[in-house]
Amino acid sequence: MATANENRRVSNSLVLIREVTWFRVILALFSFVSFLTRRRQAKKKKKKKKKKRKRKERKAEMEMEKGLSGWQRRGRGEASRAERREGREKRLMGCYCYYIQDRRTGRRRR
């Protein structure tokens, strides 16, 4: 026959085991929820990127329809080096005057 003291020890360890199990269950739930939210955020991000790309494509199509030349497109950073040079030459001839940002130095030049 087990004494009262031993019984108490056994029940204490059972309580401990029960607490640990609950702790594990709660931890598992929490990690699962965070996993789901992370996945949802990733999906959102992907969707946003896709939207952005579509918008860019639409913009480019509109510009093509309008028939903008390279130096007019330069502000979007899509013009080639030759097109930028063409814009520079036009500026030097005095066709128009505005500032552009120098890519290397980050300073504004005319």
pLDDT at 106: 57
Is the model's pTM score more than 0.95? no
CA gap 35, 84 in Å, rounded: 48
Contact present, 71 and 84 (Cβ < 8 Å): yes
DSSP string, 10-38: HHHHHHHHHHHHHHHHHHHHHHHHHHHHH
Instruction: Please give the C-alpha separations between residue 42 and each of 4, 30, 31, 51, 72, in angstroms, as whole numbers.
Output: 57, 18, 16, 14, 36
What does the pLDDT average to over 90-107?
59
pLDDT, one tens digit per residue, over 78-98 is: 566 676 677 667 666 655 555
pLDDT at 59: 83
Backbone torsions φ then ψ of 9, nearest 5 degrees: -60, -45
pLDDT, one tens digit per residue, over 6-47 is: 666 767 777 777 777 888 889 999 999 999 999 999 999 999
63, with CB counted inside 10 A (0-12, 13-18, 19+), is middle
pLDDT at 24: 87
H or E segment to which residue 104 belongs: none
CA angle, residues 68, 108, 91, in degrees to nearest 5: 45
Higher pLDDT, 42 or 61: 42
